[in-house]
């Protein structure tokens, strides 16, 4: 796209930032915005205008302050290849690793702890496509990043990376809140349960589970207990034990491997919890060959 202006700053010291582009388009441009995969973890802000795009094969009409969050494998663009009149601002990050079947690792630049990065990646995969409506805060954060890059004042590298972390955290929180507003709790809980089953080896906390459904920890705990009869952590343990029972019946895995696969920190922890809930040790259960 030859009409894009080159930014007035250098990204040489930020290998994890692929691009930061501000685009003001005063005329309709044909064949300039096809649906395609552009790569990277991209955050696109609509500043002015109305855009009709396909995002991961779903049609959206986007307005000012809407934000589109794209994983590296997502395609987006106009179904007619037309770039409408308006203004856009986007930033594209290059995570160290991030694929559909691989955990998100942003890189050494990020101060987010590893478990938060993994959860973020799982949420992005589970909840795509990600279109956040009326989310002006994302634009303001990217604009602050842009300002830091242009001015290049003392410690600007540190500040840019801090703002990137803040941007991603804010997106995850907004995504969870928006998803929760669009559905009732049983639907949100069903999605959470599937996410738990898909990543039992993750050391889930109540705070993380609450984030997935867009609630605070206290409200989440109360809703889960009313809905299931269990506290969130006890519900998670029941899921882990159910999966362990399945693996004991259907596989020849060692008890240690099953323990780690299902989220227990040791075979002893697994055995103690298993016997408490089933009345059998894992070895006894395997020998019986039935519940």
pLDDT means per 10 residues, the chain with 291 residues, are 63 95 89 92 94 92 93 94 92 94 92 92 84 92 96 96 98 81 74 89 90 86 86 92 91 92 92 90 83 47
Neighbours of 124 (CB within 10 A): 21
- Report d(CA 220, CA 140) in Å as an integer: 30
Dig out the tokens for 143 from the structure.
């604009």
- Are 62 and 26 spatial neighbours (Cβ–Cβ below 8 Å)? no
pLDDT for res 66:
93
Total Cβ atoms within 10 A of residue 254: 10
Strand ranges (E), the chain = 17-25, 36-37, 41-49, 51-55, 58-62, 67-70, 75-77, 86-93, 97-99, 102-105, 130-132
| Partners of 37 in the β-ladder | 75
Q: Which domains does the chain have, with CATH numbers?
A: 17-181 (2.60.120), 199-290 (1.10.10.60)
pLDDT of residue 219: 87
**108 Cα distance to chain centroid:** 18
Q: What is the pTM of this model?
A: 0.72
Question: How far out from the chain centre does Cα 134 lie?
Answer: 19
Contact yes or no for 230/256 (Cβ under 8 A): no
Greatest Cα-to-Cα distance within the chain, rounded to the nearest angstrom: 73
CB contact burial 82-103 (16+ within 10 A = b; e otherwise): bbbebebbbbbbbbeebeeeeb
Looking at residue 126, its pLDDT comes to 81
Q: How confident is the model at residue 190, as a pLDDT?
A: 85
Instruction: Look up residue 59 and give its two tokens.
Output: 């049609």
C-alpha–C-alpha distance, residues 120 and 164, integer Å? 14
């Amino acid at each position: 796209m030859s009409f894009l202006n080159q930014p007035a700053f250098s990204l040489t010291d930020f290998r994890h930032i692929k691009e930061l582009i501000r685009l003001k388009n005063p005329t309709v441009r044909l064949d300039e915005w096809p649906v395609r995969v552009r790569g990277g973890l991209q955050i696109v802000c609509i500043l002015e205008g109305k855009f009709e795009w396909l995002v991961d094969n779903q049609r959206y009409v986007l307005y000012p302050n809407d934000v589109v969050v794209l994983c590296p494998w997502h395609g987006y663009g106009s179904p007619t290849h037309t770039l409408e009149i308006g203004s856009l601002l986007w930033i594209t990050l290059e995570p160290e690793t991030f694929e559909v079947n691989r955990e998100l690792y942003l890189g050494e630049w990020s101060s987010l702890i590893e478990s938060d990065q993994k959860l973020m990646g799982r949420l992005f995969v589970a909840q795509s496509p990600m279109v956040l409506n009326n989310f002006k805060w994302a634009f303001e954060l990217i604009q602050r990043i842009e300002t830091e890059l242009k001015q290049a004042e003392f410690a600007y590298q540190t500040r840019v990376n801090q703002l990137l972390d803040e941007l991603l955290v804010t997106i995850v929180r907004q995504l969870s809140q928006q998803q929760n507003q669009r559905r009732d709790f049983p639907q949100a809980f069903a999605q959470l349960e599937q996410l738990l089953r898909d990543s039992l080896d993750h050391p889930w906390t109540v705070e993380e589970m609450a984030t997935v459904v867009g609630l605070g920890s206290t409200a989440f705990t109360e809703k889960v207990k009313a809905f299931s009869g269990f506290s969130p952590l006890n519900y998670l343990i029941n899921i882990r034990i159910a999966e362990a029972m399945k693996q004991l019946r259907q596989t020849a895995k060692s008890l240690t491997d099953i323990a780690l696969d299902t989220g227990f920190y040791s075979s002893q922890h697994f055995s103690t919890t298993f016997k408490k809930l089933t009345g059998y040790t894992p070895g006894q259960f395997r020998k019986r060959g039935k519940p």
